[in-house]
Each structure stands twice: as structure tokens, then as C-alpha cells.
Chain A
């Protein structure tokens, strides 16, 4: 899996299988996490988020799991499709900026390749 700031690993899965993408975060005080999907040549697309008062959150075909004990985040994609091929990266909210906006720290991502 990835750790915020490290190189880009690749995950290859067969179409129809489930995918699990991992992320290790560094700040134990972080209270908000986001998963993004980025296709080649496009901007990051919001997938799902989770707050630190939750362990699990489900969306459409995606589930995010948060393990605060080991500072680990995972994204599960059910029944992976060719359209899921992209780079996935996590982001953690590390501080509140002047004026109330948020500073996010982003991982470099995991390349998901879906094989037919």
C-alpha cells in the first residue's frame, strides 16, 4: 500500500474482483480523510470521505475503512470495472488554515489496473 508522500505502487486486478487500496497516514490528530480518483489527464475526483469518529463508511460500490490504532485507511472497490482504472490517493486533514479552510496532505497514490 501507499504511505502519504511515497512512490506510486500498482495494483492489478481482474474485472469483477474486489480491489483494496491502502494508505498509511502520519498524523494521529487528523480527523478527516478523503479518497480521490484521478484518471490520466484529469483532475482528482472525490470518491468518499470519512471522519475520525467512524470506522467504516459505504458508498456506491466503495467502502472506506479507518483504523486509527495503526493509522491506516483503506478503500475497497467492489466488482471492479475497467472504468475504475485510475490512480487513487488518500488525503488527510492536517490543520485548519487561517480563515477556516483546511490544509490537506495528499498521498502520491496507487495505480489501479483492471484486466479484462
Chain B
């Protein structure tokens, strides 16, 4: 998993509760991404980061926020979880040494989140 860990790996929560997922990398990659994966859909981008404290929205960002206070950590927060946010969440990193490496995204093991 290219030096990427995600925590927790599994979580069950109730509607309306806040949830924070963590992505940690040991590769010193510049770019970090949060995706969700749902049946019938390809991976969809939620938010991404292009540096410490530099983040932007992806295509399905409603209901999610992110923070990146250190190069190695990228947090995804569901402020008030809803059942539609039940999904598998993946973190990805990109941007190692050299310009051509920027394009390839490497994924973490995922977090399976269930919102009841």
C-alpha cells in the first residue's frame, strides 16, 4: 500500500454523529486525495490536498470537510453523518520525487464506514 495507512479500518456509527477518518503516509508525497467507492460507481473524488493547509473540493464534497496540518496526515470529517455516506473510503497519494511521478496515485487499504 505504498506506505499509506488508514484508520479506523471499519466503523459503524449513527446518523447525526461526527466521524473523522485518518490517512497517514510515510512517503512524503505532496498530493493526498480522499475518494469514496460505491457499487455501480467508479471511485469518486471527495476532497484533495496539494500541500499543508492547501485543500480543495472534489466532485462529491457536500457533507465532508478535510484538514491537513502535516505533510503525512490528511483527515476527512463527516460533520453529521447520514446514511448516504455509508461507503468505503480510500485515501490516495501522489507526487513523489521527479515530475513524472506526480500523475500516479497510490491507494491506502480503505475504511469501511456504515451509518445506521
Q: Least Cβ distance of B46 to chain A in Å?
A: 12
Q: B90 to chain A: which residues have CB within 8 Å?
A: 43-44
Is the CB of A70 closer than 8 A to any CB of chain B? no
Q: Least Cβ distance of B98 to chain A in Å?
A: 14
Residues 41-53 of chain A: 1 if any B CB is under 8 Å from the residue's CB, otherwise 0?
A: 1111110010000
Residues 26-48 of chain B: 1 if any A CB is under 8 Å from the residue's CB, otherwise 0?
A: 00001101000000111111001
Q: How far, in whole Å, are A91 and B107 apart by their CA atoms in the complex? A: 13
> Considering only CB atoms, which chain B residue lies closest to A89 in the complex?
B42
> Considering only CB atoms, which chain A residue lies closest to B55 in the complex?
A99
Cβ-defined contact, B54 with A102, below 8 A: no
How many residues of chain B have a CB within 8 Å of chain A? 30
Partner of B33, one of A4, A36, A101, A105: A101
Cβ-defined contact, B104 with A49, below 8 A: yes
> Considering only CB atoms, which chain A residue lies closest to B110 in the complex?
A43
Known: A34-B105, A45-B107. A97 touches B42 (CB 8 A): no
Known: A97-B56, A99-B56. A43 touches B42 (CB 8 A): no
Known: A43-B1, A97-B48, A97-B50. A102 touches B105 (CB 8 A): yes
Cβ-defined contact, B107 with A108, below 8 A: no
| Given A44-B43, A101-B50, 15 new contacts (CB under 8 A) | A5-B42, A34-B104, A42-B110, A43-B4, A44-B90, A46-B107, A49-B103, A91-B105, A100-B95, A101-B48, A102-B31, A107-B42, A108-B40, A108-B42, A109-B42
Question: What are 19 of the A-B contact pairs (CB < 8 Å)?
Answer: A7-B40, A42-B109, A43-B4, A43-B110, A44-B90, A49-B104, A91-B43, A93-B103, A97-B48, A97-B50, A97-B56, A101-B95, A101-B102, A102-B31, A105-B42, A106-B42, A106-B44, A107-B42, A108-B40
The interface of chain A, by Cβ under 8 A from chain B, is 4-5, 7-8, 32, 34, 36, 41-46, 49, 89, 91, 93, 97-109
- Rank and list the top 7 A-B pairs by shortest CB-CB distance, nearest first: A99-B50, A106-B42, A43-B107, A101-B31, A106-B43, A44-B107, A43-B109
